[in-house]
Amino acid sequence: MRVIFLLGIIVVPGVEIAVFVEIGDKFGLWPTLSAVFLTAIAGVALLRRQGLTTLQRAKELLERGRLPVNEVFDGLCLLVAGALLLIPGFVTDGAGLLLFFPPVRAILGRIIRRYLKTPEWLDERAGKTDSRVSGRRRAGAPGVETIIDGDYRDITSADSNKKNKPSNDDTKPFPPFPR
């Protein structure tokens, strides 16, 4: 991972310089610099518009009690896209613009999900998981023992005279289980 990062730091500026030289040679200095500034301004406008939309979708999902996993991923992609558009250069601008397209983000999300193991509680198909997805079987599935986790309190006394008689402290019933 460090090697890829190091290569990125070395290769990307080199490619950007080469593209700057070629475009500057073809169109001239001022049109080239204008294009760089215009892509930065357009990137900020796109980031604001799509970022607010993504934030609103995430808020709606949270209000409905669902985790906004896709919206968080989209927000992260938009953050990277904005950063790439603010970096001067045409290659980084192209990569940043690609991240503004939802189909590109969806493809990137599928690629990343292949390499990450999603915990059961984050799986979008909640309630439909099986051993292939999370390493555990769903409770209630055929052949699966149901395990109930709970707390208990031993109310028996060591004194044989008080056997089966709860103390005054232990006479209060447990509160009902939340459903």
Q: Identify the residue whose tokens are 């028996």.
A: 156
Report percent pLDDT > 70 for the chain. Answer: 71
Q: So what's the pLDDT on residue 52?
A: 87
Q: So what's the pLDDT on residue 159?
A: 54
62 vs 14: CA distance, rounded Å: 43
79 vs 55: CA distance, rounded Å: 12
Lowest mean pLDDT among 20-24, 96-100, 116-120, 149-153: 116-120
- 178's CB contacts (< 8 A; 6+ apart) are none
- How confident is the prediction for the chain on average, in pLDDT? 77
Q: So what's the pLDDT on residue 119?
A: 62
Residue pLDDT, tens place only, 36-66 = 888 888 888 888 888 888 888 889 988 888 8
Going by C-alpha positions, the residue among 74, 97, 71, 72 that lies closest to residue 84 is 97
Q: So what's the pLDDT on residue 83?
A: 86
Q: So what's the pLDDT on residue 118?
A: 61
Residue pLDDT, tens place only, 130-176 = 444 444 444 555 555 677 777 777 777 655 555 555 555 555 555 66
